[in-house]
């Protein structure tokens, strides 16, 4: 299927690894002009690496100045911040942790979207926000889940306010996805493994059962990237405001 993405100007945030890198590669394979943003510089064929700390308030303007008008913006930046990773629960989350979580998962995306929106509107473009099943169900940590729930609301609001002007806005909602968050002993799964008194390898084998992953396995980043790429293409030209689960069936509600 030709996705007609050749030459499209695509910005992917949080793109040095995981779902973001898989997404940047997927668009590059389709012939798009890809700008990958992260703090780390990456070297990949067909991808321009833009090193920025997107929690820095000046970064959104710098990004917009660098890329000019974008056709497609993939707001993939996000994750569980260190203070949240080690917190025992709600009472253990202090103001600084809440602030850091919202900077990473919501406010940076608000600033980037605002800076790129004039160009996106000019090109009748697409914004895809990468959320989490934590937005749909009360999985800890609560600061992360609530920030992602706000992101879902932002997607819908953008779709409504700017839809008549030609913008499409969609949410993609990953469940457990085999990125460093699940393979790094210092990452999200490593902490949960410690709490459960298991090695990371032992813990990972318990995840499909413990999280009721219907397919019995974690999602691969490339699978989520393929969904994002399709949704951003004009093959999906009449889809907007919707939220697409990429979770192997974790979320059971209709
Ligand atoms: N993996 C999962 O199981 C899962 C599940 C549900 C939702 N999600 C969501 O899916 C998205 C991607 O997750 P992932 O697991 O692929 O993430 P990841 O592997 O942790 O990668 C995060 C990316 O964001 C970049 N980044 C982090 N802080 C940054 C900053 N301040 N400025 C610029 N870039 C920054 C990192 O690069 P640098 O370190 O080089 O900056 C990296 O490229 C996130 O929004 C996450 O919340 C993931």
Which tens digits make up the pLDDT trace of 141-176?
Answer: 999 999 999 999 999 999 999 999 999 999 999 999
3-state SS assignment for residue 170 = strand
- The closest-lying atom of ligand 1 relative to the alpha carbon of residue 54 is 32
**Which of 12-26, 63-77, 90-104, 192-206 is predicted least confidently?**
192-206
Residue 240 pLDDT > 90, yes or no?
A: yes
Ligand 1 centroid to 164 CA: how many Å? Answer: 31
Ligand 1 pocket residue status of 20, Cβ below 6 Å: yes
Topology (CATH) of 9-177+219-246: Rossmann fold (3.40.50)
pLDDT in tens, 10-63: 999 999 999 999 999 999 999 999 999 999 999 999 999 999 999 999 999 999
Checking if the pLDDT of 188 tops 90, the result is no
Of 221, 222, 204, give the one whose Cα is nearest residue 213.
Answer: 204
Distance CA 39, CA 59 (A): 11
Cβ neighbours of residue 105 closer than 8 Å, sequence gap 6 or more: 77, 78, 79, 144, 147, 148, 151
| Percentage above 70 pLDDT, the chain | 100
Ligand 1 atom 33: residue of nearest CA: 38
Average pLDDT for 75-82: 97
| Residue 244 annotated in active site | no
**For residue 81, what are the contacts with CB-CB under 8 A and spacing of at least 6?**
97, 100, 101, 104, 143, 144
Digit-coded pLDDT (tens) for 80-96: 999 999 899 999 999 99
Closest residue by CA, ligand 1 atom 2: 177
From CA 143, how far away is CA 254, in angstroms rounded?
A: 25
* Whether the model pTM is above 0.75: yes
Mean residue pLDDT across the chain: 97
Q: Is the distance from CB of 152 to CB of 131 less than 8 angstroms?
A: yes
The pLDDT value recorded for residue 187 is 83
The reported pLDDT for the residue numbered 186 is 85
* Ligand 1 center–CA 51 separation, angstroms: 14
Point out the ligand 1 atom lying closest to the alpha carbon of residue 224.
10
Query: What is d(CA 166, CA 164) in angstroms, rounded to the nearest whole number?
Result: 5
DSSP secondary structure letter of residue 174? E
Q: Which of 66, 78, 64 is nearest to 20 (CA)?
A: 78
* Number of Cβ atoms within 10 Å of the Cβ of 137: 14
Where do the domains of the chain lie?
A: 9-177+219-246
Q: Out of 102, 144, 188, 244, pick the active-site residue.
A: 144
pLDDT category of residue 195 using cuts at 50, 70 and 90: confident
What are φ and ψ of residue 50, in 5° steps?
A: -120, 105
């Amino acid at each position: 299927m030709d996705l007609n993405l050749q030459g499209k100007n695509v910005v992917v945030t949080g793109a040095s690894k995981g779902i973001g890198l898989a997404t940047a590669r997927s668009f590059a394979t389709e012939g798009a002009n890809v700008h990958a943003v992260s703090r780390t510089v990456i070297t990949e064929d067909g991808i321009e690496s833009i090193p920025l700390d997107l929690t820095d308030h000046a970064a959104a303007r710098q990004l917009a100045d660098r890329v000019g008008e974008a056709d497609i913006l993939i707001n993939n930046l996000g994750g569980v911040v260190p203070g949240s990773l080690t917190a025992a629960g709600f009472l253990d989350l202090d103001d600084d942790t809440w602030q850091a979580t919202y900077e990473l998962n919501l406010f940076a995306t608000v600033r980037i979207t605002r800076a790129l929106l004039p160009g996106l509107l000019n090109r009748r473009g697409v914004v895809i926000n990468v959320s989490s099943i934590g937005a749909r169900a009360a999985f800890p940590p609560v600061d992360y889940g609530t920030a992602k729930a706000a992101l879902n609301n932002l997607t819908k609001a953008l779709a409504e306010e700017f839809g008549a002007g030609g913008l499409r806005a969609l949410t993609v909602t990953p469940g457990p996805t085999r990125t460093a968050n699940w393979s790094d002993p210092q990452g999200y799964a490593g902490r949960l493994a410690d709490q459960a008194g298991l090695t990371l390898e032992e813990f990972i084998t318990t995840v499909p059962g413990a999280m009721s992953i219907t397919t019995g396995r974690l999602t691969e980043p490339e699978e989520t990237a393929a969904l994002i790429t399709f949704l951003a293409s004009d093959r999906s030209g009449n889809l907007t405001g919707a939220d697409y689960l990429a979770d192997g069936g974790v979320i059971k509600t209709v």
